[in-house]
Each structure stands twice: as C-alpha cells, then as structure tokens.
Amino acid sequence: MNPLRSVRARLGLALLLVIAGALGIVYLIVVPSLERRLVEAKLHQLEKAAPVVAQRLEASVRLQWDLVAEEQARAFNARVVVYEVSRRGRTVLRSVASSGEEPLDGDPVAVRSARTLSPARGTVTRGRERFAEAAHPLKRPVVVLLSSSLRDALESVDQVKRRLLLAGLLALSVALVVGLGAASLFARRIRRLERAANRIAGGHFDEPVRDSGSDELAELASAFDRMRLRLAQLDRARGEFIANASHELRTPIFSLSGFLELLAEEDVSAPTRREFLAEMRTQVDRLTRLATDLLDLSRLDAGRLRIDRVPIDLARVARAAAAEFGPLAQTAGKQLELAADGAVVAMGDEQRVLQIVRILVENALRHTPEGTTVLVSAAMADGLVALAVRDDGPGIPPKELANVFDRFYRVEGGIASGSGLGLAIARELAQLMGGTLEVDSEPGRTAFSLRLPPRAATARFHVKTGELVTSERPPG
C-alpha cells in the first residue's frame, strides 16, 4: 500500500494544510494591515506638521527659509523642502529652500498640492527607499513639503513577517508531529477494526470487538461487535438447522426405506400393510412440509412470491384452521377452541393467511404439554383486523422472545421438532400483505397475533417488482 494513501498520512497532511492555511490567512491579514497602519500614522503625523511649518515660513523672511527648514526638520524628524511655483503652460516647481542636500525637484506630492492649491499627501519611492510625504501651499505661490523615510516602519513590518514565518514553521512542525501521532493512533484503531472485520468474514466469532474510545469509531466498534454476536447466533442457528434438516430428511427417508423393505416381503398381512402405508404417508407429509418451507423461503429471498391483497374473511380462515387441526388436537390430548362470530373482513391473500394460521396452530399444539387449551380468534383490534392464536402453555422464555421469528431459530429447552423456519416465513408473509405478526408471552399464556389492514380497495402486490395495482372487487 502506498504510504501517502494511508489514513495516517492523509490525516496528518490534512492537519498540516489546515494549520498552513490558517497561518497564511493570518499573514495576509496582519502584515498588510500593520503596514497600512504604520504608513497611515506617518502620513497623519506629516499632514499635521505641514501647516505648522507653513505658518513658520510665512512668518519668516525668505532669506531665513533655509534656517526655518532645518529647524522644522529637526523638530518633526522629516526633511523640509520649500518650492516656488511657476506656471508656464504647466506647473513647475523650483526648490528655494531645503533641509537636505539632495534636490527633490518634480516631487509628485508637491506638484499635486501646487496644482490644486490644497494640502496633499502620499508615498513615493526614490531609489529603493519609500518615503511618506505631506505638502501644504502658502499664500504666496510657494509649497512646503515634508518628507520622511518609512525605513523604520517597514523594518518593523519585516521583523513581524520574519517572526510570523518563524512561528509558522514552528507551528507547522509541531502540527506535523502531533497530527501524525494522532493520525497513527486513529489509524491503529481502524486497523484493529479491519482485523476484526476480517476475522468475522472468516467465520471466527469468538473474539469480541473492543475500542476504548468514546467517538464514532467506538460506536462503529460496538456495531461490529453486535454484528459479530448476531452472525455468531445465525451461524449457530444455521448449523443447528443443517443438523435438524438432515435429521428431518434422514428420519423419514430411513423410515420409508424400512417400510419398503418390509412391504417387499410376501407374508405381510393386509392390516399391517395398511398400517405401513399410513405411516409412509405420514413420512411423505413430513418431507413435503420441509420441502415447502425451503421453497417458500427461497421464493421470499428471490422476491418471486406473488401476494394478492383482496378482501378475505378471517373468521372463515379461523374456522377452516380449527376444523383442520381439531382431530390432531384431540389425539394429542389438547383442546382447540374457536372464537370467530360473524364476518371479520381484512385485506390479504387467503391462502397465505391460512398458511400463517396453520404454522401458528401447529406450533401451539406441538410445543405445549398435554391438557393445554389453544384458542383461535378473529376480531377488530386498534383499527386493524387481528387473527390470534393463544394457548395457556408454559410460555416462551423472555430471552427467547426477540429471536422466535429468526430463520433457523428454535427455542432452547422446547420439544425438538420442526425446521425453525415456520415463524420466519409467517412474519415475512404478514409483512408482504401489509400487516404484522407479533408475539406476547408470559408464564401460562402465549399469544401470536396476525394484524392486517381492514377492507379497502383491492390491490395486487408483486414482491419482485414492488408494484401495487388497486381495483375494486366484491368481498370474497
């Protein structure tokens, strides 16, 4: 892996760029502002001094102007130049008194003041040096100019620049070290999560995923650990399902094989033969149920299961289920009761609703002891139509309730039969019909409730396409 493409390098570089950008912004704001303030202060100082010098010159005779210029130059720490103005088609200045030896003829600030006969100020560059200047006109055609070097002010600005650059380099160095260190810790935590993900992907669910932080990575680690526990549970359920499915398949197949060998004998009596055939039909039914569950599950996963949403009478479905399982309940020493008076119309697929009720009633009869009463009822509840299957058996342990609808899951400690697919298929079918399948259990009572929307416009829903087409139909 390219080191420059690692999280550590990217985080360190990002921090470095942020610090560099912040320092650059500070530099661009502070240095020009400081320079403007210093130059402005110097110009303001000269602008205030220029009228004073002009008054002193007007109060003196022309022969003393050089002495006055020298005196005022020392007083204001600036060079003082007196220009005589002449106009011969253009403004011409001639220096008549100066506190320095270098001639300043044609100074732009003095020329501007002479042209407008008003005070003027500005900066000029002579050679490689900048000067702040202020000019003031006298009553006679004369202009006095005060010029002061900006060397000291600009040196202060240069010193600030150097210190800012030095502080910036130091800050960048510290930021680089701290950023790389923090990024290394961050990257180390990410690598731990990566190793944990690889372990989980490899099917190793024993080692927990931990992170000592309290940020988003810690939350991600917690999510990984929840996923690990969930996958471990599903993996155990899958293993149990494979073992159970193998047993469910092997038992009827071996039974059928044995019965066929016995039937092949010539001395089997007719009653025995009939008994063998009845048992063979029972084993074939077991295989058929298991194959049907697996087929329904594969269709649900592939989105190829077609669901009709038409008006159906849940009371009629409840009566059909009670009639179907009545003999089985009587044989098992249990009582199957029905509470469904009058039509209770909901929107759904009648065959799929009957399939759900069969799963619920069969589970109630299979997983409860002898003497248990199972009640199948249909009624309105909370604006929805509910079909419920209740029993007064020992109930489902609280820790198992959250998992009873999981695929391949079988309640621990219960009677070991079935594939663990029935309730998972039932809930998915309920959801596809726009309803819910819920469970409520406590010691001495367990209730599964199928809730469906009440009668409305008929709709046909296809799982794979997700299309819902409505039309009006008479009640079924």
Regarding whether 314 and 284 lie in a shared domain, the answer is no
Regarding whether 257 and 130 lie in a shared domain, the answer is no
Regarding whether 327 and 252 lie in a shared domain, the answer is no
Residue 139 within a domain: yes
Residue 188 within a domain: no
Q: Which of 136, 156, 176 is the last residue of a domain?
A: 156
Regarding whether 109 and 69 lie in a shared domain, the answer is yes
CATH of the domain at 147: 3.30.450.20
Regarding whether 446 and 369 lie in a shared domain, the answer is yes
Residue 161 within a domain: no
Residue 107 within a domain: yes
Regarding whether 296 and 311 lie in a shared domain, the answer is no
Spatial contact of 20 and 167, defined as CB atoms under 8 Å apart: no
List the structure tokens of 321.
């289920």
3-state secondary structure of 372: coil
Residue 2 within a domain: no
Distant-in-sequence, close-in-space partners of 443: CB < 8 Å, separation ≥ 6: 394, 395
Regarding whether 434 and 331 lie in a shared domain, the answer is yes
Spatial contact of 463 and 429, defined as CB atoms under 8 Å apart: no
Regarding whether 230 and 92 lie in a shared domain, the answer is no
Regarding whether 284 and 377 lie in a shared domain, the answer is no
Determine whether 59 is exposed, middle or buried from the number of CB atoms within 10 Å of its CB (0-12, 13-18, 19+).
exposed
Regarding whether 135 and 77 lie in a shared domain, the answer is yes
Regarding whether 35 and 116 lie in a shared domain, the answer is yes
* pTM of the complete model beyond 0.75: no
**Cβ count near 135 (within 10 Å):** 30
pLDDT score at 474: 40
Q: Which of 127, 156, 185 is the last residue of a domain?
A: 156
CATH of the domain at 442: 3.30.565.10
pLDDT score at 416: 40
Regarding whether 312 and 434 lie in a shared domain, the answer is yes
CATH of the domain at 292: 1.10.287.130
Expressed as residue numbers, the domain containing 103 is 7-156
Q: Which of 243, 269, 301 is the last residue of a domain?
A: 301
- CA count, 13 A, side-chain hemisphere, 128: 0
Residue 468 within a domain: no
Spatial contact of 336 and 374, defined as CB atoms under 8 Å apart: yes
pLDDT in tens, the chain (476 residues): 455 556 666 666 777 787 788 878 877 888 888 888 999 999 999 999 999 998 888 888 888 888 888 888 888 888 888 888 876 645 566 766 666 666 677 788 988 888 888 999 999 998 888 999 999 998 778 889 999 989 888 888 888 888 888 888 888 788 778 777 777 777 788 888 888 889 888 888 888 888 877 788 888 888 888 888 888 887 887 777 677 667 667 777 877 888 788 777 767 777 887 888 888 887 787 788 777 777 777 777 777 778 888 999 999 999 999 998 988 888 889 999 999 877 889 999 998 999 999 999 988 998 888 999 999 999 887 777 889 999 998 888 888 888 888 876 766 544 445 556 788 889 989 998 989 999 999 998 999 999 998 875 444 444 444 443 444 444 43
pLDDT score at 273: 77
Residue 168 within a domain: no
**Domains in the chain, number:** 3
What is the dihedral sign for C-alpha 261, 262, 263, 265?
Answer: positive
The overall longest dimension of the chain from CA atoms, in Å, is 160
Residue 225 within a domain: yes
